[in-house]
Structure 1
Amino acid sequence: MAYKINDSCISCGACAAECPVEAISAGDDKYVIDPERCIDCGSCANVCPVDAPQQA
């Protein structure tokens, strides 16, 4: 199950920098995770200061 970024995202980019498969990109108001590319590793959740990435 892929991760999804919730509304608490502060657009710091920590998650995108940590993603090993480059599944995270900047959206209009927060970062977004491509569910087709996400390998459910949890790296993004481990570095997020506001716990925005959550398992969908």
Structure 2
Amino acid sequence: MRIHADKAKCEGLGMCESMANDYFEVDEDEDLVQVLDDSPPEADRAHVFAAVQACPVLALTLEG
């Protein structure tokens, strides 16, 4: 599973960061999401999935 961030959709709201800050961070300069680790281990996948689903503008997807 890989995390993909569509920066064209991102509004920097930070829901993903607040739910999974080991994987997402809103960059202060760009005010857009940065994926810190795009391949979460199996143990963290449910947690990352919940953070991706929380994105109100659907800027995050999981592939694979």
Larger-Rg structure:
2
- Between the aligned partners of 2:38 and 2:9, the Cα distance in structure 1 is 22
- Between the aligned partners of 2:15 and 2:36, the Cα distance in structure 1 is 16
Q: Structure 1: state its 5+ residue gaps.
A: none
RMSD of the alignment, in Å? 2.1
TM-score of the superposition, structure 1-length normalised? 0.72
Q: Structure 2: state its 5+ residue gaps.
A: none
Question: Identity across aligned pairs (percent)?
Answer: 16
TM-score of the superposition, structure 2-length normalised? 0.65
Give the secondary-structure state (helix, strand or coil) at the position aligned to 1:55.
strand
Is the CA contact (8 Å cut-off) linking 1:24 and 1:33 kept in structure 2? yes
Q: Would you say how many aligned residue pairs link Structure 1 and Structure 2?
A: 55
Alignment partner, residue 33 of structure 2: 31
Is the CA contact (8 Å cut-off) linking 2:17 and 2:25 kept in structure 1? yes
Alignment partner, residue 5 of structure 1: 5
Q: Which has the higher helix share?
A: 2
Match for 2:53 among 40, 43, 46? 46
